[in-house]
Structure 1
């Protein structure tokens, strides 16, 4: 009887993809400029109910309002054999979350990023004031299409 060969794959399961999305610290959020040119920026974010949320400011908010097509990427690994990533095609929306959702987002962001934040008392006053006044838009990313992913460690 012939021995059945197991197909090697770098693909992660949906559960592994969402786990990586939930547990990664930095995400790369890509939006489209008015001329169609993509721009990718690092962001802090949380995942709730298989949607990605960020509380942010600036031109990325304007770009999402102008064109909802966007993508989100998390990646890890220094060596080729360690490289892994999850890339999500999304529809982005600037939302006014319900009080309950806003609270869930705020708590999740605080829990996730407390170890990484600069203490406000060591931040220059002008910087502290700027961020307190300008971090006021919530972007919700809803995955659409296929979630691209790979984990090279699965080859070993």
Structure 2
């Protein structure tokens, strides 16, 4: 048996993950890698972020991106899915609405109510945009639990 996930297994693994790691590129080409909350919509990765962030500026300047989810502590438990593709700011209301609904279902119990945030944070988070990462056909994945260990 291969330690790689099938595409269906890879997407199921991604959907179960709580936090993903998004990599975008600075103007000088260096990567910036950040943890994000995300949802899966039609085998794309969607996240939201304050509109004025450098992340949004990087996405608008260069759509190349990568996305990673992983799990496991011991070597024999390590599993991950790494995707490469392009990312863009979403500008259509039906997609934004679907993403909001998916976020509410996935993260309602993890969020901080905006009225509990400091006023500066409330201002930053009040103007959000949706980003949509569309992967290419390359899925790099592994699940070390599939390796048969010798006694």
Matched, 1:150 2:150: no
Aligned to 1:44: 37
C-alpha distance in 2 between matches for 1:101 and 1:35:
31
Aligned to 1:3: none
C-alpha distance in 2 between matches for 1:122 and 1:68:
34
C-alpha distance in 2 between matches for 1:11 and 1:107:
31
Structure 2 counterparts to residues 67-146 of structure 1, below 5 A: 67-97=62-92, 99-133=93-127, 136-146=128-138
**Does the 8 Å CA contact 2:90/2:132 hold for their aligned counterparts?**
yes
The CA deviation at 1:105 is: 0.5
Instruction: Normalising by structure 2, report the TM-score.
Output: 0.90
Aligned-residue CA RMSD (Å) = 1.3
C-alpha distance in 2 between matches for 1:51 and 1:127:
28
The CA deviation at 1:18 is: 0.3
C-alpha distance in 2 between matches for 1:120 and 1:93:
26
What residue ranges of structure 2 are gaps of 5+ in the alignment? none
The CA deviation at 1:37 is: 0.5
Q: How many matched pairs?
A: 146
Deviations 1:43-91 (A, max 9, x none): 1111110111111131111111111111000001111111000000011
27, 52, 55: which one aligns with 1:34:
27
Is 41-50 or 115-124 further displaced after alignment?
115-124
C-alpha distance in 1 between matches for 2:58 and 2:115:
33
What residue ranges of structure 1 are gaps of 5+ in the alignment? 1-7
